[in-house]
């Protein structure tokens, strides 16, 4: 009976450790990475949506690579773009972009490493097709 109890306690400890590992708080890097992917996906959906205003077609391209130093300028330009204020989806996307910019320059400034400063890569990036859920 005692070996069974030890095995059960070991199993409980192992499962508890796995649960804690899965619920660990996100790092600055993981938060920036997930938010940039979320913004890029939202932008792609916005570009393909039939229900949005024609001004959306004129928006600056929004491909984000958080390892490219030029992403900071890209975010600033997108947030400052003067058109489409009346389109709710664009306003929400601009707010997310503003949040990402703030996180990158304030909270995560020391945690991020930029591997390139190739601004053209952010302009000419080929966006992968939207995955259907």
CA 131 to CA 61: how far, in whole Å?
19
CB atoms within 10 A of CB 17: 10
| Least confident among 14-23, 103-112, 120-129 | 14-23
Mean of the pLDDT values across residues 19-25? Answer: 50
Q: What is the mean pLDDT of the chain?
A: 79
Cα(28)–Cα(122) distance, integer angstroms: 22
What is the pLDDT at residue 107?
Answer: 83
pLDDT over threshold 80, residue 43: yes
Residue 47 has pLDDT above 90, yes or no: no
Q: Which residue has the tokens 């400052």?
A: 80
Per-residue pLDDT for 131 more than 60? no
Give Cα 106 to chain centroid, integer Å. 16
pLDDT of residue 102: 93
The predicted pLDDT at position 38 comes to 94
What distance in Å separates the CA atoms of residue 118 and residue 110, rounded to the nearest whole number?
A: 21
Residue with more model confidence, 88 or 23 = 88
How confident is the model over 105-115, as a mean pLDDT? Answer: 82
């Amino acid at each position: 009976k005692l070996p069974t109890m030890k095995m059960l306690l070991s199993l409980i400890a192992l499962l508890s450790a796995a649960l804690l590992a899965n619920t660990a708080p996100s790092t600055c890097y993981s938060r920036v990475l997930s938010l940039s992917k979320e913004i890029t996906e939202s932008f792609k959906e916005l570009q393909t949506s039939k229900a949005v205003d024609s001004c959306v077609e004129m928006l600056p391209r929004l491909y984000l690579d958080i390892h490219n130093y030029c992403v900071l300028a890209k975010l600033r330009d997108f947030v400052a773009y003067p058109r489409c204020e009346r389109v709710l989806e664009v306003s929400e996307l601009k707010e997310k972009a503003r949040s990402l910019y703030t996180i990158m320059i304030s909270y995560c400034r020391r945690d991020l490493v930029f591997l390139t400063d190739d601004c053209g890569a952010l302009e000419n990036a080929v966006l992968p097709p939207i995955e259907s859920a």
